[in-house]
Amino acid sequence: MNAETERIRALNDELRTTLRGGKVHATTGIAALGTERQAAIIGAVQAFDAFTPDNDPHKEHDFGLIEIADERVMFKIDYFDRALRLHSPDPSDPKVTVRVMTMLADEY
């Protein structure tokens, strides 16, 4: 793994585990679940570490699929420019990148 990928991975792990370093978008489906189930889902996403070559082929830790309380939850981290209009020119540089994590498999 090269240094750029290591940096992207670390930034993605920070967002996923601390919910800092980007934006977390709770989809309409997540918002409708209520605060107790939302907290359980967020905790499961924060604890997720089952990254494999199948779900993490680029080793960036930007995707995961979790089953929790009979709900399939998917998280995906995307990289946008600071205006949130285009893809980031350099996902390894937080000065030019906004990370956005979305969740819920059936809404993707």
pLDDT in tens, 38-94: 899 999 999 999 999 999 999 999 999 998 878 788 899 999 999 999 999 999 999
CA 18 to chain centre: 11
Q: What is the pLDDT of residues 24-36, one digit of tens each?
A: 988 888 888 889 9
Summarize the confidence of residues 91-103 as an average pLDDT: 92
This prediction has a pTM of 0.90
Q: Is 45 exposed, middle or buried (0-12, 13-18, 19+ CB in 10 A)?
A: buried
Q: 31: domain range? A: 3-107
CA distance 4 to 18: 21
**For residues 83 and 2, is the Cβ–Cβ distance under 8 A?**
no
Q: Into how many domains does the chain fold? A: 1
- Predicted pLDDT at 108: 59
